[in-house]
């Protein structure tokens, strides 16, 4: 088991899966946990299988591919092709957790920042960035809007 440095990541994952309409199975949670623990790193299904087996998970390679496809469809992971021994290999990278910390509502008048708390929206934005030729996904986003405090003044 990996212990969380700050907060319990399982709660965030459970919440994220529920919002996406996915039942939080142990395979889905384990895969999210590993991808989150490897930020910015693209992992192949085989690599995930080795890491999961090392943690005592019984998830098969078929299950891992199925979960990765589900997460890709919902914009949680991004699939990219890496060439390895002259063969193209699919690798998967987490999209939304990186995006989550960098998208804020920002008040132009007082500088108040509030994180945008909508994993599905952030995942969609990040996927759009990737499709538009920005291969690293969304790096930073600020949505400018005047806060209640400033509107009241």
Q: Give the residue numbers of the binding site for Zn(2+).
A: 107, 110, 147, 150
**CB-nearer residue toward Zn ion: 101 or 144:** 144
- Does 88 help bind Zn ion (rule: CB under 5 A)? no
- In angstroms, the CA 16 to CA 118 distance is 9
Pairing between β-strand 141-144 and β-strand 103-106 as defined by DSSP bridges: parallel
Stretch that binds Zn ion, among 9-17, 60-68, 99-107, 128-136 (CB under 5 A): 99-107
Exposure letters 64-90 (e unless 16+ CB within 10 A, then b)? bbebbebbbebbbbbeeeeeeeeeeee
Annotated binding site: 107, 110, 147, 150
Binding mask 107-136 for Zn ion (x = CB under 5 A): x-xx-x------------------------
Q: Are 69 and 98 in contact, with CB atoms under 8 Å apart?
A: no
Q: Least separation, in Å, of the C-beta of 111 and Zn ion? A: 7
- Does 104 help bind Zn ion (rule: CB under 5 A)? no
- Which residue in this structure is represented by tokens 């909508």? 118
Give the largest Cα separation in the chain, rounded.
63
What part of residues 24-43 is at the interface with Zn ion (CB under 5 A)? none
Q: Least separation, in Å, of the C-beta of 119 and Zn ion? A: 25
Helices (H), 20-78: 26-36, 45-54, 61-73
Q: How many residues bind Zn ion (CB under 5 A)?
A: 6
Stretch that binds Zn ion, among 6-14, 77-85, 119-127, 140-148 (CB under 5 A): 140-148
User: Which helix (H) or strand (E) segment is 41 a member of?
Assistant: none
Give the residues lining the site for Zn ion (CB under 5 A): 107, 109-110, 112, 147, 150
């Amino acid at each position: 088991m990996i212990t969380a440095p700050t907060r319990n990541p399982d709660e965030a994952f459970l919440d994220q899966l529920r919002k996406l309409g996915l039942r939080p199975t142990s395979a889905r949670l384990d895969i999210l946990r590993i991808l989150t623990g490897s930020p910015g790193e693209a992992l192949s299904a085989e690599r995930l299988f080795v890491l999961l087996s090392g943690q005592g998970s019984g998830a098969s390679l078929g299950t891992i591919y199925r979960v990765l496809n589900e997460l890709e469809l919902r914009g949680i992971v991004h699939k990219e092709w890496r060439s390895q021994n002259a063969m193209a290999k699919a690798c998967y990278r987490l999209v939304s957790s990186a995006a989550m910390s960098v998208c804020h509502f920002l008040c132009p008048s007082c500088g108040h920042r509030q994180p945008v708390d909508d994993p599905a929206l952030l995942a969609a934005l990040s996927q759009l960035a990737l499709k538009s030729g920005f291969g690293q996904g969304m790096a930073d986003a600020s949505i400018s809007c005047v806060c209640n405090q400033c509107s009241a003044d």
